[in-house]
Amino acid sequence: MADDKVKIQEDTRKMLVKWKTKRGSLIMALHEIQGAFGYVPWDSMEVVAEELKIPMAQIYSVLTFYNHFKLTAPGKVVISICDGTACHIKGGQSVIEAFEKELGVPAGTTTEDGLFYIQIVRCLGCCGLAPVVVVNGKTYGRVTPLDAPKIVAEWRETMAKEGA
């Protein structure tokens, strides 16, 4: 963990070089950090506070105001389940529940092993396939609750092969 912290802080410091001199660049800097790590780690925030001379209280207010920002590491496999209008009517809610049951965690959180993260999204732009689930960029259409265990098993296998 200590090594992680050093690496995260080093990387963050590099990213901040171009934002340091510009006023009002907090949100842009946080975007870049989330882009790199998948979320905004506390260790990064400490560096942001120091380099941009912005109190932690303010950074954290901004981070929690916008839904976009994540404060915990998302899983390696991100399961995005659509609950937009079309998917909702076609049973998106039951698909969400099926994934939550299969993984044992509520949407918006990561499984304890850090492998899966469930997020609910509003419309993925392929309503004809409702209900839609996208896993790490791969799209699954007309998903039923019974598909949830199969999709999870498929990705467990994929990740195991990759040595994750």
Partner 1 sequence: MVKLTIDSKVVEVPEGTTILEAAKSAQIKIPTLCHHPDLPPTAACGICIVKVGNRMVRSCCTPVAEGMEVITRDPDIIEARRTVLKLTLSKHPNECLTCLKNDTCELRKLSADFGIRDTEFANITPSKEEMPLDDSTKSIVLDPRKCILCGRCVEVCQNVQNVWALSMLKRGISTHISPAADNKLGDSPCIKCGQCTAHCPTGALTERDDTQYVWSLLQDPEKYCVVQIAPAVRVAIGEAFGYKPGEITTGKIYAALRRLGFDAVFDTNFGADVTIMEEGSEFIERFVNGKGALPLITSCCPAWVDYMEKYFSDMIPHFSSCKSPHEIVGALAKTYYADKVNIPTEKMRVISIMPCTAKKFEILRSEEMFSSGFQDVDVSLTTRELARMIKQAGIDFVNLPEEEADSPLGAYTGAGTVFGFSGGVMEAALRTVHAIVTGKEMPEDALEVKPILGLDKGIKEMTMDLAGKEVRIAVAHGIGHVQALLEKVREAEQKGEEPPYHFIEVMACQGGCVGGGGQPLGVTDEIRKARMEGLMKDDRGSKQRCSHLNPDVKKLYDEFLGKPLSERSHHLLHTSYQKRELYKK
Q: Which residues bind partner 1 (CB under 8 A)?
A: 42, 45, 55-61, 64-65, 71
Q: How far apart are CA 153 and CA 137, in angstroms?
A: 17
DSSP string, 55-117: -HHHHHHHHHHSTT--SSPPPSEEEEEE-SHHHHHTTHHHHHHHHHHHHTS-TTSB-TTS-EE
- Judged by beta carbon, residue 67 or residue 146, the one nearer partner 1 is 67
Q: How far apart are CA 131 and CA 123, in angstroms?
A: 10
| Nearest approach, Cβ of residue 149 and partner 1 (Å) | 33
| Nearest approach, Cβ of residue 56 and partner 1 (Å) | 5
Q: How far apart are CA 59 and CA 54, in angstroms?
A: 7
- Judged by beta carbon, residue 16 or residue 59, the one nearer partner 1 is 59
| Nearest approach, Cβ of residue 62 and partner 1 (Å) | 10
| Nearest approach, Cβ of residue 145 and partner 1 (Å) | 29
- Judged by beta carbon, residue 2 or residue 57, the one nearer partner 1 is 57
| Nearest approach, Cβ of residue 126 and partner 1 (Å) | 30
Helix, strand, coil % in the chain, rounded to nearest 5: 55, 10, 35
- Judged by beta carbon, residue 66 or residue 144, the one nearer partner 1 is 66
- C-alpha angle with apex 33: 13 to 160, nearest 5 degrees? 115
- Judged by beta carbon, residue 9 or residue 158, the one nearer partner 1 is 9
